Chain A
Amino acid sequence: MAGPARYREPRPLLARGPQRPGLEAEVEYRKRQLPWIPRRTGLWNPCACKSYQDFHAFDLSGATRVLEWIGDKGVFVAGYESLKKNEILHLILPLRLSVKENQGLFPERDFKVRHGGFSDGSVFDLKYVPDTRLLVTSGLPGCYLRVWQFAEDSDVIKPVSTIAVHEKEGNFWPRVAVFSSVAPGVLHGARLSDLKIVDLESQKVTYSSGISDSEELSSLQVLDADIFAFCCTSGHLGIVDTRQKWAPLENTSPNLGSGEERWCAEVRGMDQGPGSCIASLGSEGQLRLLDTRDLCHPMSSVQCPVSTPSPNPELLRVSWAPGLDNCLAISGFDGTVQVYDVTSWDGMGIQVEPLFTHRGHIFLNENKMDTAPQVTTHTWHPCKPRTLLSAASDASLHVWDWVDLRASC
């Protein structure tokens, strides 16, 4: 063997031991060895920082832009790198997060990979088809969607078929939403003119927007068996009933400021009564609340305290909390996720402060990259009211449960 074999070990934080002899020096030295144990305040100080009920941090093998629930115990994540095989993973949440009592007795703090598969292309969107074992993914190249299947007795996610999509050129990829019913349908489109619903089994087109408006879409959301909402990057919103020919309730020609700004939106669950609320987030940090019955006149509009403009507006995300009244979360500007209570929002241009800001992705950035990681997506836990999952560009995945500090005063 050429040369001595070396046990290579991690580089110590400081090259030399304590300079001054004595116990004090030793303590000082050790303090510097463990810099993450914070000063009085800070994320990691479990005493000073009462704002987290729970916090778990994980590292995936590849960053994800997708967090899609399957039931309330599993999520799908998928890689989005352009030049290599990406992994699609079905993760089961750590057991202790599903348990209320006696959490301490549950050693299971890890995610389990229940299923995994490989995708040649990048995955930007993934939707689970409820009550089936099927997934639909979309990414680049944007000329087709992929349909995948996973089985009970194996841990592999296999590609099953593709759905051809109109989009031919460039960096446009279709957004996807799923109409779940006995015969599930996939709603997809990169532009308003391409919007279609395709029956998953027969691959026949069952609905088509049939218009020539080629505005680029940023999000699609299925609201019930026949109705879906769309949001264009321009901020143009619409609610479509598929039982009629294209005649959406929409805010036509919205005056939304600079043409460079990109928008996304999410409708709060329809089961909360008629006149549901839509939250629309712009890349300049503006957040608008609209009533679905009157999309042309927003109920309120605020400026969120975020660094603008968003470095990657495709990652903008706004989501309503399923278990809380009037709470939503936003991400996509930096390495944070912000939670807001919109109850008392009234009027235009008001300044607001978040109820809670999750800074974990910035604090835990192990690699100390020059560019701070950016949150790629977030999602609320379907059952636990204040639990969220968030993922960032450094492949980190956090599960956190924040404390509503107002409740304690």
Chain B
Amino acid sequence: MPEIRVTPLGAGQDVGRSCILVSIAGKNVMLDCGMHMGFNDDRRFPDFSYITQNGRLTDFLDCVIISHFHLDHCGALPYFSEMVGYDGPIYMTHPTQAICPILLEDYRKIAVDKKGEANFFTSQMIKDCMKKVVAVHLHQTVQVDDELEIKAYYAGHVLGAAMFQIKVGSESVVYTGDYNMTPDRHLGAAWIDKCRPNLLITESTYATTIRDSKRCRERDFLKKVHETVERGGKVLIPVFALGRAQELCILLETFWERMNLKVPIYFSTGLTEKANHYYKLFITWTNQKIRKTFVQRNMFEFKHIKAFDRAFADNPGPMVVFATPGMLHAGQSLQIFRKWAGNEKNMVIMPGYCVQGTVGHKILSGQRKLEMEGRQLEVKMQVEYMSFSAHADAKGIMQLVGQAEPERVLLVHGEAKKMEFLRQKIEQEFRVSCYMPANGETVTLPTSPSIPVGISLGLLKREMAQGLLPEAKKPRLLHGTLIMKDSNFRLVSSEQALKELGLAEHQLRFTCRVHLQDARKEQETALRVYSHLKSTLKDHCVQHLPDGSVTVESILIQAAAHSEDPGTKVLLVSWTYQDEELGSFLTTLLKKGLPQAPS
């Protein structure tokens, strides 16, 4: 079955729930298993009935691959593995394996405790799901089974994000997940080698955007922080433990140094511990600048940034505080928020997406009166949203396609009407076909798999002897016998094949009779035939043998008298089946008769 089938799962054109089924050379792989954050009901999960209506998913799928820890790529994983039912391997990188369960648990808490949802996965389910995970390293070829192998490439975007190459024999598919082609302060840029996959699957959510430069965003961030502390206000920045927080710290630290500012900046301690722990585990995943800077020290030993004590929140005067968790749904960041929300001089900067139901989401939607623990809270502090997370835009997609050199490109999560220009751009620039399936639609791509066949030396030499050097790009026709044993293919000459099989070769000879009007004796007729053929067939070896017969290459011609008619001679033309062509030609030629000229 030389074809690759791809089906993005999920209903509607909604972005935000990644789950792609790939069928390659008989292997079925699920790429990502995301949750749609905007829905509260079953619409938030991908539609798994596409995979199989009644069979066991474990039998049908060979593996599941998760690209990174964002909930729209892994949020539905516990539901899928524990509630729908899947027991096969789940592959992801080491950082993803460490961070995924934390985010899933956070999310579960919000859904169940805050929103009171019933049919949701439990903490135990998350744990059971993670037991099925097999962690992989970058550029490590992992054998899923004896035919299917996968390999992870660095994707940037967030800590631990990877692009995966899925390979079966000579067919391969590369799935990018979310990636970023421009390095930022703590992560490098995505990179892949010229692996020339049959298909490159890439998300195209941001393909039609041209991104604001990072410096502008950083400048705006610094401006807001500075303006707030200048007027005596306090700035709260809720963050998740890793990555962005560190980046923003470096930014603030350097800015404070330049501007000689004395306003205190704090990091909540819970953050420091967790961050240090993960940092040590995943140092290779951040970029070189970070590594060189922090290689020997505690990464949060800044000059201007100190550890936070909850009592500091009541101190008068300006300050900046980084606290977890990132969506203001619980814990220290929420506590600080409640203390500072009533003062319009203060500011909270949300650095990323907030799930529905969290305080973060509410204030970002513009809500200014919140109910917390039975009491009303009026939010007078300024609310800012500053996303630093990076996705590939059109330029990034073009760069990646240029690096990988796929045969074809498939774009997911874009609206087809709005992507025609990008598709034309890719097709023109790289001369590859570009597909844009809707969710639920299957794209079938025929492939021409190359099957390697070993050729015997003898056969090869024989072919070479025929002249004409082999050319890499031109197909060359060979005759031989194909021997298939186990998964081994060999091409040998027929003789060798027969020898190996212990069979004798059959000889086939064809004989044809050509009647000629000739009254002379047989020997003379034969001589006439010889002269005629010699002069006509200049490219061939024509010989007159002592016994009177004529040979043309390996074809034998004998003249005999006709049994009944002395004026007719019968030419017996015989040849082996290998000389079929020449034999037929000679017969036709002789049937035309001999020239009248005397020999």
Contacts and interface: CB of A to CB of B under 8 A. Distances in A.
Interface in B208-234: 208-213, 215-217, 219-220, 222-224, 226, 230
B257 A31 contact: yes
B213 A47 contact: no
Contacts of A23: 301, 303
Contacts of B383: 104-105
A134 interface: no
A156 interface: yes
B285 to A, nearest CB: 10
A58 B254 CA distance: 24
Contact of A118 (B212, B254, B295, B428): B428
Interface string A56-70: 111111000000000
B210 A7 contact: no
B25 to A, nearest CB: 19
Given A37-B254, A37-B255, A10 B210 contact: no
A409 interface: no
Interface of B: 138-139, 153-154, 183, 188-189, 191, 193, 206, 208-213, 215-217, 219-220, 222-224, 226, 230, 250-251, 253-255, 257-259, 287-289, 292-293, 295, 297, 301, 303, 364, 366, 382-387, 393-395, 398, 417-422, 424-425, 428
Instruction: Pick the 9 closest A-B CB pairs, nearest first.
Output: A46-B223, A116-B421, A104-B384, A57-B213, A110-B209, A111-B210, A109-B212, A9-B188, A5-B139
Given A30-B253, A38-B258, A115-B421, A59 B428 contact: no
A16 B289 CA distance: 10
B130 to A, nearest CB: 26
Contacts of B222: 46
A116 B223 contact: no
Contacts of A226: none
A59 B213 contact: yes
Contacts of A87: 425
A246 interface: no
B421 A117 contact: yes
B153 to A, nearest CB: 8
A1 to B, nearest CB: 8
Given A9-B188, A12-B292, A29-B293, A105 B385 contact: yes
A12 B188 CA distance: 11
Contact of B395 (A16, A61, A109, A116): A61
Contact of A57 (B212, B295, B386): B212
7 contacts: A7-B154, A9-B183, A30-B293, A46-B219, A47-B230, A56-B212, A105-B383
A243 B378 CA distance: 66
A313 interface: no
A16 B386 CA distance: 32
A10 B139 contact: no
Interface string A68-82: 000000000000000
Given A27-B257, A104-B382, A118-B424, A8 B191 contact: yes
Contacts of A59: 210, 213, 395
Contacts of B419: 155
Contacts of B364: 105
Size category of the binding interface on chain A: 35 or more
Most buried by A among B255, B301, B382: B255
Contact of A44 (B189, B191, B215, B366): B215
Contact of A12 (B210, B217, B288, B295): B288
B297 A26 contact: yes
Given A46-B226, A106-B385, A112-B208, A10 B183 contact: yes
Nearest to A117: B421
Nearest to B183: A10
Contacts of B425: 87, 116, 118
A55 interface: yes
A169 interface: no
A46 to B, nearest CB: 3
B420 A154 contact: yes
Nearest to B418: A155
A34 B288 contact: no
Interface in A245-281: none
A94 interface: yes
A403 to B, nearest CB: 13
A136 to B, nearest CB: 20
Contacts of B395: 59, 61
B219 A94 contact: no
Most buried by A among B216, B217, B387, B395: B216
Nearest to A60: B210
A34 B382 CA distance: 29
A236 to B, nearest CB: 39
Contacts of A5: 139, 193
Given A9-B183, A45-B258, A55-B216, 11 more contacts: A7-B153, A9-B188, A12-B292, A13-B289, A17-B293, A30-B257, A37-B258, A59-B210, A61-B394, A104-B383, A155-B420
Given A12-B289, A33-B289, A118-B428, A7 B138 contact: yes
Contacts of B254: 30-31, 34, 37
A47 B387 CA distance: 22
Contact of B217 (A45, A47, A109, A116): A109
B208 A155 contact: yes
A143 interface: no
A297 interface: no
B394 to A, nearest CB: 7
A91 interface: yes
A113 interface: yes
Contacts of B208: 112-114, 155
A9 B212 contact: no
A67 to B, nearest CB: 14
A201 interface: no
A170 interface: no
Contacts of A33: 289, 293
A7 B301 CA distance: 29
A113 B421 contact: yes
Contacts of B211: 58, 109-110
A39 interface: yes
B42 to A, nearest CB: 28
B287 A9 contact: yes
A39 B258 contact: yes
Nearest to B139: A5
A110 B188 contact: no
A10 B209 contact: no
B385 to A, nearest CB: 5
Contacts of A306: none
Contacts of B189: 9-10
B257 A156 contact: no
A10 B417 CA distance: 36
Contacts of A397: 210
A153 interface: yes
A4 interface: yes
A87 B220 CA distance: 31
A364 interface: yes
B359 to A, nearest CB: 15
A156 B384 CA distance: 36
A34 B191 CA distance: 24
Given A9-B188, A12-B292, A30-B250, A113 B385 contact: no
